[in-house]
Amino acid sequence: MSEVKTASSRRPLRIAIFGFGTVGSSVARILTESKPEQLELTHVFNRNVARKKADWVPGSVTWSEDAGAVLASDAEVIVELAGGLDPAGAWVRKALASGKSVVTANKKLIAFHGVELERLAAANGGHLKYGAAVAGGIPVIPGIEHGLAGDRIERMEGILNGTCNFILSRMEEGAEYADVLKDAQARGYAEADPTEDVGGFDARAKLAILMRLALRAEVDPGQIVPKAITEVAAIDFSYARELGCTIRQIARAGRQIARAGKTNGALAASVGPALVGLRSPLSWSRGTENMVVLTGKYGGDVVFSGHGAGGHPTAVAVVSDLVALASGSKRVEIPAEKAEIGAEFEVPHYIRFLVKDRPGIVAEITAALAREQINIRAIAQKAGYPANALPFVVTVEPCKASALQRALAGIRRLDCMIAPPLDLQMLE
């Protein structure tokens, strides 16, 4: 079993990077150019490693495509940046089981297996740090573990996916979804298959991590059903502006507030595009920026904001974890209890319809909503659209999403409906 060396040790921590992609190469760049005296890059592992070799990396570094050999080497910390559950999970488990420490940016692995891996690290004398797993270079996780450990966080909401924020903030300026997605892919912000990002699965994993740390609730990420941003169109931004809002992908979670003003313990969580008031800090986030707002019982709102995507910002968080390890810093143990998502947010909703116009449509929609005890707040219809493809918007008073979905299930069957209605939460 090896021990992590402290800053007072004679030699620096020996670091092995697993995955020399955008983030891995940025970590190596920082270690090479900044030369932190307590850290030494000794190994780089990557499949087909010959195509990855960089001449600016010191000649003393061992390049390898044999994961087992690197795990068996004298490297004391494995920096896992390959991502995904497998084989990354197997590498992390083997490293921790041998007493090595692990630093990772792998949100999916931490969301689904973080508790198990932390126990494995503790049992074998190593440490697991993942400050880069949520919000890239923004120190949200260290902020929760150290700066907010004395508070009781009651709710959180944030923009946790830089790709979606880039797409939606560009659409806010008038661009179309398909064009912005292509641009995001060309810039390296989005994968060839963007489903993890635009489908909300990436943000869901990050939200589950934050719920465990901030709300002390260990939830299965699969309980959170994300909503994709793919159905949001330019017209929705036009209507949103008239409502004093914009649209962002929002991840949020909290404990339900009872009528007496006290929390009753039931958890609610959601991920998806939502209308955000222009006066909200969440509306100010542009491009690949991330933002997290944490609300504590005693300390009130705390906002974290900055660049949440890209190689360099994420690498900064990784290297910061390495420096903390070298300085003898341990993760703060935050107890969390297994929990279920058992509540819903009761908020206003924005519903956009596309119909073949005919008499009686509004009356039929109103009747379907009334059957679920949902009150209409306003109806808006822009001029200039043809009667055979007429978009209009209905906003409703705060209601449970499940009740609204029951109403919309009946509305979808109306013969005038050209497309399924788009339903977005409105944050107030």
The Cα–Cα gap between 30 and 17 comes to 13
Could you give the 3-state DSSP secondary structure of residue 184?
helix
Judge whether 79 and 318 are in contact, CB under 8 Å.
yes
Contacts of 8 (CB under 8 A, 6+ apart): none
The Cα–Cα gap between 296 and 302 comes to 8
Judge whether 75 and 49 are in contact, CB under 8 Å.
no
- Amino acid at residue number 319: V
- Amino acid at residue number 297: K
DSSP state string for 323-387: HHHHTT--------EE--B----EEEEEEEEEE---TTHHHHHHHHHHHTT--EEEEE--SS--G
Judge whether 7 and 329 are in contact, CB under 8 Å.
no
Token digits of residue 140 = 């949200």
Q: Which of 52, 107, 129, 206 is catalytic?
A: 206
Give bridge partners of residue 392 from the DSSP assignment.
Answer: 353
What is the distance between the terminal CA atoms of the chain, rounded to a whole angstrom? 52
Beta strands in 50-164 (DSSP E): 62-64, 77-80, 101-104, 128-129, 153-159
Beta strands in 110-236 (DSSP E): 128-129, 153-159, 217-218
Contacts of 265 (CB under 8 A, 6+ apart): 255, 256
Judge whether 308 and 160 are in contact, CB under 8 Å.
yes
Q: Is 107 a catalytic residue?
A: no
Greatest C-alpha distance within the chain: 83
Q: Which of 111, 88, 377, 424 is nearest to 245 (CA)?
A: 424
> Helices 107-123 and 201-214: crossing angle, nearest 10°?
40
- Per DSSP bridges, beta strands 245-257 and 263-277 are antiparallel
Could you list the active site residues? 206
